[in-house]
Amino acid sequence: MKRRLLLSFWLIFLALPACKQATGPSWQGYAIEKVAHNRDGMVVSAHPLATQVGVEVLQAGGNAVDAAIAVQFALAVVYPVAGNIGGGGFMVIRMADGTTDALDFREKAPGAAFRDMYLDSSGAVIPGLSLGGHLASGVPGSVDGMVKAFEKYSKIKDFSKLIQPAINLADHGFHLTDRQAKNLNSAQESFVKYNTTMPVFVRDSAWQEGDLLIQADLAQTLIRIRDQGREGFYGGKTADLIAAEMEAGHGIITRQDLQDYQAIWRQPLQGQYRDYDVITMPPSSSGGVALLQLLESVEDFPMADYGFHSTASVHAMIEAERRVYADRAKYLGDTDFYPVPIEGLTDPAYNRARMADFDPEHATPSDAISEGQPAAKESEQTTHFSVVDSDGNAVSVTTTINGGYGCKTVVAGAGFLLNNDMDDFSSKPGVPNMFGLIGGEANSIQPGKRMLSSMTPSIVAKDGELFMVVGSPGGSTIITSVFQMIVDVVDFGMTMDASVQSSRFHHQWKPDYVFLEPDSLPSATMQGLREMGYELNIRGHIGRVDAILRQPDGTLVGAADPRGDDHAAGY
């Protein structure tokens, strides 16, 4: 599918010097491509300008990691609703020689954080405290993550080349899409509420498509990162500005917290689904563990015979989801603080046994399901983008500030939004977070601990060759979105773009609903599910997947989700 939004002038715009005029006749809109077929390299991200930055880095000789770093910084400018330097994320890498790696640049709880910090004196959760404003923010990890990814994997070896496109976009400005203008307008009240100094996002008249957004403070922060590396963010002037912002808003992130922050390389999780190798993110994300559990749970079911969106296939997948999310609530947390039984949970025999009470005729009520007993052996608004380079190296990155525009607080003078990922901790056992997820001890708040994530950047290989790069935003629905993409392509034989464009469903154990996108499942399937005892809950969009599939002839198919301005391009 190809969706053209007006004419393509943005390539020219990128090459032009500053154009300070707000909306004007020169604004011709972005050309948004939902599907791209290329042989040498591919980038799929949430914004056409960020995708273009990534493609240009690949064309200039950068590898997939170089391009991913450039895309991350570009998204921090052109996609402020989720792109960030004030948040965190995960990067899963598969190099062409088959070696794999995983980078955890998830935010951490500040040193002064404590278990009951969001509870009042009677022990009740104070509504909104973990969501809006300074206290909601964890210590950001994105900048250290990008620096570490650069140090270990860069081919281009010049950090300034990867961050300069973002500096230019912040300094010269970029034109808003219609969706972005509307998003900014709907957040005006929150920006006013959670900022002591009004950020550039706030203005008297409504934002409109084509308006130029210039972020001068952000440009200066990016310049400090360009010139000083990690110190440009975690030390010096930027750290001073963050500390001053915390003081102004009664936040708790200190200069010491910033100095102490370190992204960490982890061993990626690897599992098998039918003939495919799945490479995915270990904790502090729950995503990889849960994805492998879900795939193993349905592996014995004849999914291809059941068919796409049939009552039988949806039933099997939902029952797997119900059981896996019950485990998530009990066992998943930051492995640096809590002994998550990863091996037990991802053991195929364990997940097969979890499905032993699957009833082919009926839904199992969630109240009848609790966590399983895996072997106790211990091992220790978001955006996703996918990149493949001409050598076949692949990078899958999901990055977040959690809610749209994070905690809504912009660091005064530094121009970037802080996250509200502290809400991903379990503020109180059994009390749902903004995604309705519950947790307990494994995901309780402790200083320096990473809050549990659902982000599931993943790479699939077959017979030693790259097959798919996939991931999504969407809070708790991330894991089930990625699950559906893999089953769609592997079992139902769908193309990458058909899978990305198709509607999605989701179950997370509690609440005991099947969440559906509007007009999603065939009516016969919905009827079948109701007769089995499922309660269906129609909601808005589920996930926003940006994926790349490598066809057997080597062609790369980039598929950008139609639910956003997401854009696929290659060369």
CB-wise, 340 or 478, nearer to ligand DON? 478
Which residues have a Cβ under 8 Å from the Cβ of 489 and sit 6 or more positions away?
468, 495, 496, 499, 549
CB-wise, 499 or 508, nearer to ligand DON? 508
Q: Can you name the residues that pair with 396 across neighbouring β-strands?
A: 92, 386
Residue in 337, 355, 323, 340 with CA at minimum distance from that of residue 286: 340
475 contributes a contact to ligand DON by CB under 6 A: yes
Q: How far is the CB of 286 from ligand DON (least distance, A)?
A: 8
Rule CB under 6 A: choose which of 45, 100, 311, 381 binds ligand DON.
Answer: 381
| Six token digits for residue 300 | 């014995």
Tell me how far apart the alpha carbons of residues 227 and 42 are, in angstroms, rounded to a whole number.
29
CB-wise, 377 or 539, nearer to ligand DON? 539
Residue in 395, 437, 449, 486 with CA at minimum distance from that of residue 94: 395
Which residues have a Cβ under 8 Å from the Cβ of 567 and sit 6 or more positions away?
30, 32, 33, 34, 44, 45, 46, 47, 48, 51, 52, 560
Which residues have a Cβ under 8 Å from the Cβ of 99 and sit 6 or more positions away?
none
CB-wise, 195 or 398, nearer to ligand DON? 398
Q: How far is the CB of 457 from ligand DON (least distance, A)?
A: 11
Q: How far is the CB of 473 from ligand DON (least distance, A)?
A: 4
Find where tokens 């963050």 sit: 242
Q: Are 393 and 562 in contact (CB under 8 A)?
A: no
Q: How far is the CB of 398 from ligand DON (least distance, A)?
A: 8
Residue in 454, 477, 108, 109 with CA at minimum distance from that of residue 118: 109
Q: Are 520 and 504 in contact (CB under 8 A)?
A: yes
Question: DSSP 3-state assignment of 165?
Answer: helix
402 contributes a contact to ligand DON by CB under 6 A: yes
Amino acid identity, position 568: A
Work out the angle between the directed axes of helices 287-298 and 477-490 (0-180°, nearest 10).
40
DSSP E strands in 50-189: the ranges are 88-94, 100-104, 174-175
Binding mask 179-218 for ligand DON (x = CB under 6 A): ----------------------------------------
426 contributes a contact to ligand DON by CB under 6 A: no
Rule CB under 6 A: choose which of 242, 342, 478, 556 binds ligand DON.
Answer: 478
Q: How far is the CB of 481 from ligand DON (least distance, A)?
A: 10
Q: How far is the CB of 34 from ligand DON (least distance, A)?
A: 19
Tell me how far apart the alpha carbons of residues 402 and 562 are, in angstroms, rounded to a whole number.
21
Rule CB under 6 A: choose which of 45, 177, 390, 400 binds ligand DON.
Answer: 400
Exposed, middle or buried, 296 (CB in 10 Å: 0-12/13-18/19+)? Answer: buried
144 contributes a contact to ligand DON by CB under 6 A: no
Q: Of residues 493-532, which lie at the interface with ligand DON (CB under 6 A)?
A: none
CB-wise, 271 or 457, nearer to ligand DON? 457
Q: How far is the CB of 381 from ligand DON (least distance, A)?
A: 4
Q: Are 284 and 334 in contact (CB under 8 A)?
A: yes
Q: What is the DSSP letter of 270?
A: E
424 contributes a contact to ligand DON by CB under 6 A: yes
Binding mask 219-258 for ligand DON (x = CB under 6 A): ----------------------------------------
The alpha-carbon radius of gyration of the chain (Å, integer) is 22
Q: How far is the CB of 407 from ligand DON (least distance, A)?
A: 12
Rule CB under 6 A: choose which of 371, 421, 491, 517 binds ligand DON.
Answer: 421
383 in catalytic set:
no
Q: Out of 382, 399, 477, 525, pick the active-site residue.
A: 382
CB-wise, 195 or 456, nearer to ligand DON? 456
Cα 374 to Cα 281, 290, 331, 344, 349: the distances in Å are: 19, 13, 10, 5, 10
Nearest residue relative to ligand DON (C-beta): 382
| Six token digits for residue 393 | 């190296």
CB-wise, 131 or 241, nearer to ligand DON? 131
Amino acid identity, position 335: T
CB-wise, 284 or 525, nearer to ligand DON? 284
CB-wise, 136 or 278, nearer to ligand DON? 136
Q: Of residues 445-474, which lie at the interface with ligand DON (CB under 6 A)?
A: 453-455, 473-474
Total number of residues that touch ligand DON (CB under 6 A) = 13
Q: How far is the CB of 22 from ligand DON (least distance, A)?
A: 29
CB-wise, 222 or 422, nearer to ligand DON? 422
Tell me how far apart the alpha carbons of residues 338 and 80 are, in angstroms, rounded to a whole number.
33
| Six token digits for residue 308 | 């796409």
Q: How far is the CB of 301 from ligand DON (least distance, A)?
A: 27
According to DSSP, the β-strands at 100-104 and 264-266 are antiparallel
Q: Which positions touch ligand DON (CB under 6 A)?
A: 381-382, 400, 402, 421, 424, 453-455, 473-475, 478
> What residues act catalytically?
382
